[in-house]
Amino acid sequence: MNTDNPNKKRETLTFIIILAAGAALAMCTHFFPSSEAAYIICPWLYVPCFLYVSRNMTRKIHLVLWSVFWCGSFMVRYWGIMAPFSPTVSLVLQFVSAAVFSLPYWLDRLLCRKDCGVAALLIFPFACASLDYLMELLGLGSLFSLAQTQFDNKLLLQIAAVLGCRGIVLVLTMWASFIVHYRKNLKAILICLAGLLVILLCGLARINIHTPVIEAADKVTIGWSGEPVVDDSFFYEGDGSDIDTGLDCLDRALSEAEQKGVELLCFPEESFYVDKEHLEEFIASAQELAVKYGISILLPVESDDPEDEEAMGLNQCLFIDSRGELQDAYNKTMLIPIGESPYYVQGTGELPDIETRIGAHDLKLSYAICFDGDFASYIRTIPDDTDLFIDVSWDWDEVDELHYRIIGLRAVENGLTVVKPTISGYSTVTDYLGNIRSITHSDDTGYPGVNLVELPLAKCGTIYHKFGNLIDAIYLVGLAVFILITVIGRRKGKYGTDS
């Protein structure tokens, strides 16, 4: 009779309970998408659950259980995030994403042993931060980043001004790595808690210092409108040669904006559909309307060639000032792989640098289109003297809670106010401390019409904006260094090899 069998069963049952708890916590944001508490608290608990089992599992059945719980909870948590794709493609992509984001756990399992050194404990957090960065470098964005879960944690959020969004990932996963390893060492746990407390206190200090600055800053009011994209029949079935319909919508929105005293009117992504043959005519008419009403327009347009199905379309955003001058025509640079990249011309990668006047203020603004805003390293390239950043977006139900948090992170990282006018999702204004100054959902804003948004002209320099390239590179270099130290230490017999 095998006397070890009861112990193995007990160990397996323990792992199942921990994995089930971790999976339940990981899926909370799917079932409670509007719960700030779920976003903030759950990652601090489910990451240690999965990490504990991955470090201690000893049998093949444990590997299978871990993989099932991890992939299952990951796919449920982000269910519908791939909605623009077909159900089959969406399912495959979510499974692949789950597998990719399990890699830091497997790397940690390979190198982090019970009697390892501190360098080995840092492999997991640096692997998570590095994977976050690599996803951007590969053009896949940051929708799956742990950083957006902490957007409502304003104290921890301030670290993004120094280390970028990946600094939040680093802190959260470092906590998990050390707590799991030192779970039986009260002194070590207290040291971890003290370190986390110091980070939070620094965040509190930054908030207390800068809040009066933001409140005292001059405020300006801009407008955004959901016309005509809110009319799905116009966008999806409309005739691109019928520019009069779009111009009527633009005229109506500008007329209302003028009555409300708006001097800059923004629209969500792809608000107007015009075929390429009539694009110049549409732009010229829009310029005339800008002069007629004395309002600057941020005008997103989709255009294609209906007679050439193989020709690449344009997903662009035009800035027409109140004098009718076309100051910039920006093409979306970060195209969604598979969903957009085969169909649209990719932008040059240079964000607009616009000088304009809103109210009594001369200011510089920059803007991007939707998925562009998911790339911290790209948005960081806006000029240092930018006063305002706008990300025109088009979301969907399963992604709207994630996306406004991600775009809000850009405000903290770059130290300026960020505006996100959105169709089918949350439209927000976020100041550089991460405070939501305005938030409305397209389901309850009374489309069509012009919505007024007040925003503070407050900005501050951030370490991440200035040295972001170096900081992002440190995550990759740090991972390589800690792996090297651990491997060399084990070969010299400094660390044990028992898992």
Element (H, E) at 405: helix 400-414
Give the strand pairing for 219-225 and 264-266: parallel
pLDDT at residue 237, rounded to an integer: 44
> Where are the CATH 3.60.110.10 domain residues in the chain?
218-457
Burial (CB < 10 A; 0-12, 13-18, 19+), residue 189, is middle
State residue 350's pLDDT score.
93
Is omega for the bond preceding 228 within 30 degrees of 0, making it cis? Answer: yes
Query: Which candidate, 334, 315, 388, places its Cα nearest to that of 358?
Result: 388
**pLDDT value at position 244?**
84
pLDDT of residue 201: 97
Q: What pLDDT is recorded for position 235?
A: 44
With b meaning 16 or more CB within 10 Å and e meaning fewer, what string describes 146-177? bbbbbbbbbbbbbbbbbbbbbbbbbbbbbbbb
- Contact (Cβ atoms closer than 8 angstroms) between residue 351 and residue 379: yes
CATH of domain 218-457: 3.60.110.10
Q: What local confidence, expressed as pLDDT, does residue 230 receive?
A: 43
Reported pTM: 0.91
Question: How do strand 436-441 and strand 426-430 relate by DSSP bridges?
Answer: antiparallel
What is the model's pLDDT at position 498?
40
Which pairs with CB-CB distance under 8 Å and at least 24 residues apart come from 313-319?
A: 313/343, 313/344, 313/345, 314/276, 314/279, 314/344, 314/345, 315/269, 315/270, 315/340, 315/344, 315/369, 316/347, 316/369, 317/269, 317/367, 317/369, 317/392, 318/283, 318/286, 319/352, 319/354, 319/356, 319/367
Closest CA to 104 of 132, 83, 136: 132
> What are the structure tokens assigned to 376, written together?
């911290």
The mean pLDDT values, 10 residues at a time, for the chain of 499 residues are 70 94 94 91 97 93 95 90 78 90 94 76 96 94 92 96 97 96 91 95 96 91 71 47 82 90 90 88 95 94 79 91 93 90 90 88 93 95 94 90 94 96 90 93 65 88 95 96 86 55
